[in-house]
Amino acid sequence: MILKIILIGIIIYLLYRAFGGKIELPKAKKTQKVKKEKSEDLKELEANTLVECSKCGIFIAYKEAIIKRGKIYCEDCFKEVK
């Protein structure tokens, strides 16, 4: 029984070496870090995106914009709309 396991292991190793060791094993931790970094970059990009004020037409950063009833306002126009 043990001899069969050893032989199977040797065969698998030889096949691995025959293909040049190009077989990539999944790395869960690395892909999770990459996904987290991409999502953080995407959030930063969304926050820095310029949007146009519905009233005066000035462009402001999305993170500074005020959204009311589906319309985007700059700080000055929002005070007038209240």
Walk me through the domains of the chain, giving residue ranges and CATH numbers.
Answer: 48-82 (3.30.60)
As a whole number, mean pLDDT of residues 62-73 equals 88
Binning pLDDT at 50, 70 and 90, where does residue 38 land?
Answer: low
Binning pLDDT at 50, 70 and 90, where does residue 32 land?
Answer: low
As a whole number, mean pLDDT of residues 46-59 equals 88
User: What does the pLDDT look like over 13-28, one tens digit per residue?
Assistant: 888 777 776 666 666 6
pLDDT for the residue numbered 1? 86
* Beta-bridge mates of residue 73: 66
Best CA proximity match to 66, nearest among 58, 50, 80, 77: 77
Distance CA 63, CA 66 (A): 8
